[in-house]
């Protein structure tokens, strides 16, 4: 098995006024390259927390995450930022587009941050998701489902190794939703590793593996 991620004894504890919340409790999990993996679980079970830890947007309380042979939780911030930009693509749970930039500029943004505009590929990605006609619009004037597709295109602009998608189909209707699941399955068959959080059990029809997150544990279903 070509493991792209090896998660070992990962623990995340939050401390607040009411005491400690053990959101992820000593979880271990191997992720194979080129798979479409789905995580399902109740609200508050730690799904976003897990994706944010893998994507280096948050720090763990304990454990390790090996990515291509390196423990990424122990890297210095500069290296983490570099990895985030070039190896990971993010689709966030809540709207994260820049309202003062056009759709096309939003998709291009991670390329620009990396140092080089890639408007040609940005357009191709918009076309792939059926929204190239929106290229010059501003995000506040497009629908929620359209925004989600822009966010997916943006996540793919730098050719990531891993796509982390947190409820990417929340605002989409049935047909659009299934199209995204199909796109993710296809991208995975071409070598991208896709980790997706969803409440939609229909995703299981398209995924290679499904996991349930509950009570701090992650179990294969
Ligand atoms: N910064 C924080 N400080 C304290 N507790 C937090 C913090 N962030 C998240 N939590 C708590 O951790 C738990 C897991 O949150 P998380 O956002 O990972 O859940 P989720 O499974 O993504 O839920 P949803 O389906 O509603 O998006 C929740 O109980 C939440 O209240
Ligand atoms: Mg969440």
Q: What is the pLDDT of residues 121-132, one digit of tens each?
A: 999 999 999 999
CA 14 / ligand 1 centre spacing (Å): 9
Mutating to test ligand 1, I would choose from 49, 196, 199 the residue with most ligand atoms within 8 A of its C-beta, which is: 49
Q: What does pLDDT average to over the chain?
A: 94
Q: What percent of the chain has pLDDT over 70?
A: 100
pLDDT at 171 over 90: no
Rounded Cα gap, residues 55 and 165, in angstroms: 10
pLDDT at residue 174 in the model? 83
What residues are paired with 217 via a beta bridge? 214
CA 214 / ligand 2 centre spacing (Å): 13
Tell me yes or no: is domain 34-58+77-220 CATH 3.40.50.300.
yes
Per-residue pLDDT, averaged over 33-61, amounts to: 95
Rounded Cα gap, residues 198 and 26, in angstroms: 22
Q: Are 171 and 144 in contact (CB under 8 A)?
A: yes
| Per-residue pLDDT band at 10 (split at 50, 70, 90) | very high
pLDDT at 47 over 90: yes
Q: Which of 35, 14, 23 is nearest to 192 (CA)?
A: 35
pLDDT at 144 over 90: no
Largest Cα–Cα separation, the chain: 51
CA 160 / ligand 2 centre spacing (Å): 22
Ligand 1, atom 29, lies closest to the CA of 44
CA 57 / ligand 1 centre spacing (Å): 14
Q: So where are the chain's domains?
A: 34-58+77-220
Atom in ligand 1 nearest the alpha carbon of residue 213: 21
| Per-residue pLDDT band at 94 (split at 50, 70, 90) | confident
């Amino acid at each position: 098995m070509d493991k792209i991620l090896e998660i070992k004894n990962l623990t995340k504890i939050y401390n607040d006024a009411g005491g400690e919340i053990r959101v992820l409790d000593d979880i271990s999990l191997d992720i194979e390259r080129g798979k479409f993996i789905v995580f399902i679980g109740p609200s508050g079970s730690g799904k976003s927390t897990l994706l944010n830890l893998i994507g280096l947007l948050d720090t763990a309380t304990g454990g390790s995450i090996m990515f291509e042979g390196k423990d990424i939780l122990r890297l210095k911030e500069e290296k983490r930022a570099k990895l985030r930009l070039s190896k990971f693509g993010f689709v966030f749970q809540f709207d994260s587009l820049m309202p003062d930039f056009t759709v096309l500029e939003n998709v291009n943004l991670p390329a620009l941050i990396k140092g080089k505009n890639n408007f040609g590929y940005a357009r191709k990605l918009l076309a792939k998701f059926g929204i190239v006609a929106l290229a010059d619009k501003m995000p506040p004037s497009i629908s929620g489902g359209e925004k989600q597709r822009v966010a997916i295109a943006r996540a793919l602009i730098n050719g990531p190794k891993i796509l982390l998608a947190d409820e990417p189909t929340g605002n989409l209707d049935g047909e659009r939703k299934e199209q995204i699941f199909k796109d993710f399955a296809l991208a995975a068959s071409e070598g991208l590793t896709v980790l997706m959080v969803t409440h939609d059990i229909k995703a299981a029809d398209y995924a290679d593996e499904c996991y349930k997150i509950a009570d701090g544990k992650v179990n294969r279903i």
